């Protein structure tokens, strides 16, 4: 048994695991971008509510 058998065996294992990444491709990146936009709009909606509360409260230090 020489080192070629070991290295080719490892190569076959890693090559099989890379098929998973080839299947996913950029879907994960697109998901993160969409999630970021939803988070942005959610945060902006809350910020608008906080600004309206601040305008309606005269006792608040600005």
pLDDT in tens, 7-30: 998 888 888 778 777 788 888 899
Q: Give the whole-number percent of the chain exceeding pLDDT 70.
A: 97
Q: What is the dihedral of CA 51, 53, 58, 59, to 10 degrees?
A: -100
Q: Quote the radius of gyration of the chain (alpha carbons, Å).
A: 26
Mean pLDDT, residues 26-55: 94
pLDDT of residue 62: 62
Which residue blocks in 1-62 are alpha helix, DSSP H? Answer: 3-24, 27-56
Q: How many Å apart are CA 57 and CA 12, to the nearest integer?
A: 67
Q: How many Å apart are CA 48 and CA 56, to the nearest integer?
A: 12
Q: Is a pLDDT exceeding 80 seen at residue 60?
A: no
pLDDT of residue 16: 79
Q: How many Å apart are CA 2 and CA 27, to the nearest integer?
A: 41
């Amino acid at each position: 048994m020489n080192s070629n058998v070991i290295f080719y065996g490892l190569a076959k294992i890693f090559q099989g695991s890379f098929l998973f990444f080839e299947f996913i491709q950029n879907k994960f990146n697109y998901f993160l971008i969409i999630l970021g936009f939803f988070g942005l709009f959610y945060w902006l909606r809350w910020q608008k509510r906080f600004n309206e509360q601040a305008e309606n409260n005269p006792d608040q230090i600005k």
